[in-house]
Amino acid sequence: MSMKPEQAAGFQKVFDKLVGNVEQVLLGKNRTVRLAFTAMLSGGHLLLEDYPGTGKTSLARAMAQSVQGSHSRIQFTPDLLPGDITGVSIFDQKKGAFEFHKGPIFSNIVLADEINRASPKTQSALLEVMEEHHVTVDGVTHPTGEPFMVIATQNPIEQAGTYRLPEAQLDRFLMKASLGYPDHASTRLILENSGKTKKVELEGVVPAEMIVKLIELAKSVHVDPGITDYVTNIVEATRFAPEVRLGASVRGALSLVSASRVYAASLGRHFVIPDDVKALADSVLSHRLVLDPEAEFDGVTANNVVGKILIDLPVGAPAA
């Protein structure tokens, strides 16, 4: 059953409400906020990579607050253990049995701050829960709540004491975004308001159950075969690009289609057009590519590669 135009209009209304709520605390970052909610309503996870002090944590917290659900924050450190995230089983002497104590991962929105500071072992603890939305400890599976979204942040500058995220981990993130520094006017506004008000606590504008429904509704956005063909061409092009050692996975292609659905619905459209795909391709695919070391040495970035593919690849339909 495809989405109806009026449903798309309703979707857009809720989406704009969420975005508008977050923009109260994050000024001048409309596109990034939209991307973040697109990831959320696609049922995916978001990796925010940016310099310190650009608002990564603020964004994650604002998103969590906007959704009327539980949220938690995990500060990743080198000595963080997997059990600190997923929870541990502790022996209850009264009951004479082990009892599972849920970790911070059991929230609707989990902020994994500076994720690359934890050891690979700890990072890997997120693999199952991000993909399956449940945790298995001592052979017992514990589902997380729905919706479930991990918003991870990492600092691209610091190298000492950090562990690069493995490809499998990166592939679990639906998209990677960066906030960047705010523009002049926004910075000025932030400075003017800094001493006047207390820390802003956002009100939740959409209940968690509504988010689950929106995720389901977004799946009904119509995708024409021409669009899937276009997405396939883009993904294949990443695999054959000379600068790329490892191209985008099938999961990447699926992520691009599902994100495009949400993006189309967020604009009040009940079908996907190539513009949606082009708007998201860089955010959804770039972090999944592994570049050839030589190309990387020459200064080529994954964003360059995807950008060049979008410029060179004809849109399947006779659009131009």
Partner 1 sequence: MRAVFLAFAVVVSLVPLWPVYQDPGFFVALAGGAILGALIALLSARGSWSVLRTVLTAVVAYLVFGVPLAVPGEAFLGFLPSLQGELSLITGVVLSWKQLVTVMPPVGSYEALLVPVLLLSMVGTLFTVVLSLRLSRTKAHAGFAALVPVVTLSVAIWLGPSRSFASVLVTVGVFVLIALWFVSSRVGVARTGFRALGILVLSAVVASAVVLVTPIADRTVWRTEIDQPFVLQDDTSPLSEYRSYVTGDNKNRDLISVTGLSAGQRVSIATLDNYTGVLYSVGGVAADFTKLPGSIPTTAKNGDEVSAQITISGLTGAWVPLTGELGSFSFTGAGSRALTDAFYYSRPAGTGAVTSGLSEGDSYRTTGLAAPEVSISSISDLKPGDAIVPAPAVMPNGLDAFVSLSSKGKTTAGERLNATLTALTDQGYISHGGPDEVPSASGHGANRVAALFAASPMVGDAEQYAAAASLIATQIGFPSRVVMGFIAPEGTDATTAVTFTGAEMTAWIEISTTEGWVAVNPNPGERPIPEEQPQDPTEVAFPQTAVEPPAQDEPQLNDSSAPEVADEEQPSEVDPVLQAILAVVNALGWTLLWLGLLASPFLGVIVAKRRRRHARLSAADPRERVEGAWNEVRDALLDHGTAATASMTRQELAELSSLSAATGVAVLADTAQYSADPLSEAEVIRAWSEADGVVREMGANLTRWQKFTAKISVKSFGLSWARFTAWLPKRR
**Contact footprint for partner 1 (CB under 8 A):** 2, 5, 222, 224, 226-227, 270-275, 278, 310-315, 317-320
Closer of 189 and 310 to partner 1 (Cβ): 310
Instruction: List the structure tokens of 202.
Output: 């956002």
Closer of 98 and 271 to partner 1 (Cβ): 271
Closer of 145 and 226 to partner 1 (Cβ): 226
Q: Are 22 and 59 in contact (CB under 8 A)?
A: yes
Smallest separation, CB 34 to partner 1 (Å):
17
Smallest separation, CB 273 to partner 1 (Å):
5
| Residue whose structure tokens are 């994720």 | 115
Dist CA 220 CA 271 (whole Å): 9
In DSSP terms, 143 is beta-bridged to 134
In DSSP terms, 271 is beta-bridged to 222
Closer of 117 and 270 to partner 1 (Cβ): 270
Smallest separation, CB 245 to partner 1 (Å):
24
Chain centroid, CA 13 distance in Å: 21
Smallest separation, CB 65 to partner 1 (Å):
34
∠ at Cα 249 (218, 161), nearest 5°?
A: 100
Closer of 167 and 224 to partner 1 (Cβ): 224
In DSSP terms, 89 is beta-bridged to 100
Closer of 179 and 277 to partner 1 (Cβ): 277
Q: Are 270 and 223 in contact (CB under 8 A)?
A: no
Smallest separation, CB 253 to partner 1 (Å):
18
Closer of 63 and 257 to partner 1 (Cβ): 257
| Pure H helices in 133-183 | 167-172
E strands along the chain, which residues?
45-49, 67-68, 71-75, 87-92, 97-102, 109-113, 134-137, 140-143, 149-154, 173-177, 206-207, 244-246, 290-291
Smallest separation, CB 223 to partner 1 (Å):
8
Among 55, 296, 49, which residue's Cα sits nearest to residue 156?
49
Smallest separation, CB 310 to partner 1 (Å):
6
Q: Are 131 and 172 in contact (CB under 8 A)?
A: yes
Closer of 59 and 234 to partner 1 (Cβ): 234
Smallest separation, CB 162 to partner 1 (Å):
37
Dist CA 59 CA 29 (whole Å): 10
Three-state DSSP class for residue 109 = strand
| Pure H helices in 23-103 | 30-41, 56-66, 82-86
Closer of 146 and 275 to partner 1 (Cβ): 275
Smallest separation, CB 267 to partner 1 (Å):
11
CA Rg value for the chain: 20
